[in-house]
Homo-oligomer: A and B are copies of this chain.
Amino acid sequence: MATDWNAVSDDDFRQAFARLVEDCCPPELRFMRKQRPTFDEVAVFYHGLAEAGWLAPTWPVEHGGMGLGPAKHMIYVEEWGRLGGPRIPDHGIGLVGPLLIEHGTEEQKAFHLPRILSGEHVWCQGYSEPNAGSDLASLRTAAVRDGDAFVVNGQKIWTTLAHCANWIFVLVRTSRDEKVRQKGITVLLVDMRSPGVRVRPIANLRGETDFCEVFFDDVRVPAENVVGEIDQGWTVAKSVLGHERIFLGAPTRPEIAMERLEKLARARGAFDDPAFLSRYAKLRLDLYDLGSAFERHARILREGGELGADVSMLKIFTTELYQRITEETLALAGEDARLFDDIATGNDRVDAMNLFLDARAPAIFGGSNEIQRNILAKAVLRLPS
């Protein structure tokens, strides 16, 4: 009989997670510098979590998940960060699972869910296209019905870790009715080993390969791989965003950056410089107050409420704060700001440039901050068009 983790006290839950991480996460995987390790690099942790039944926190128990409500899930995510667990390829757990559990057929669930938990299927997500970034509705990758299959042609981009994945779920255009641009889109599950799928990794500013282009050239996909209704993919895809949107606004990244700034400042004696202290204080209070703001939204979830559009404010603030902290770190670095490699600080190192460059991304991905401001203007401030 599985534990009802929601009924366990928060402290006990935290301790259980901490023990589990001690047990199944090797030290070299904790507090990794790499933002996006590949599946192989973290497989031992992935399997360890799976064996303990802790891999899929929000999935229902009958599907092998922990069935956590938002309150415990928040703690789960917090502890993961606090314990320094590496990021695992999580599109299967975080997106495909919930998608299938809500919209999938029994066959889809029976086939895919166990294979996600076992790590046999590693998923990636194909939403963006070269000409459909902020404007997702204008996507053009097309799926045309041909007997018992769809034939897919087109291109996806910014597909995270596609070069390490073997399955992809894609948004494809199945109808050309241009009047309602967000209609006519369908969610399709594609085995990447199918003929006609090609992946091209793209290096980022940090010199790492987090994302790829994925090309579809007459790829045949069985019709039973449609999730939900045909032409209703927009609604299907949006339905799984849910409360996880709050994590886009979590203070995790600025906290990491702040730890680095403080480390460098201590090494340089900068805390004795009142001018630095003044700038530091501003950033420190921004981070502190971001924590208060995050807590307000998290509490709504914990108390069973739903997130409003206003949660986007956290995403804007945390991503811009992340940038500002890394910029101050480079300013503090003096001539060491020329280094691409980490900066030595006594016996330790500070990855100032790594974080500065990484901080360029979150303000763009997951809906650029300009798009977020547009949404807030309409949905929260109700400003006229």
Contact = CB atoms under 8 A, between A and B. Distances in A.
Interface in A275-291: 275, 277-279
Contacts of A277: 275
Interface string A250-285: 000000000000000000000001110111000000
The dominant DSSP class at the A interface is helix
A278 B275 CA distance: 6
A225 B274 CA distance: 65
A334 to B, nearest CB: 15
Contacts of A279: 278
Interface string A178-216: 000000000000000000000000000000000000000
Nearest to A277: B275
A365 to B, nearest CB: 25
A164 to B, nearest CB: 40
A274 B274 CA distance: 6
Contacts of A278: 275, 278-279
A278 B274 CA distance: 9
Contacts of A273: 274
A264 B274 CA distance: 20
A340 to B, nearest CB: 28
Nearest to A281: B275
A381 B274 CA distance: 41
A331 to B, nearest CB: 11
Interface string A108-151: 00000000000000000000000000000000000000000000
A180 to B, nearest CB: 26
A119 to B, nearest CB: 49
Interface string A144-168: 0000000000000000000000000
A142 to B, nearest CB: 29
A277 B275 CA distance: 8
Interface string A334-365: 00000000000000000000000000000000
Contacts of A275: 274-275, 277-278
A275 B279 CA distance: 8
A361 B366 CA distance: 39
A273 B277 CA distance: 12
Interface string A32-59: 0000000000000000000000000000
8 contacts: A273-B274, A274-B274, A274-B275, A275-B275, A275-B277, A275-B278, A278-B278, A278-B279
Given A274-B274, A275-B277, 6 more contacts: A273-B274, A274-B275, A275-B275, A275-B278, A278-B278, A278-B279
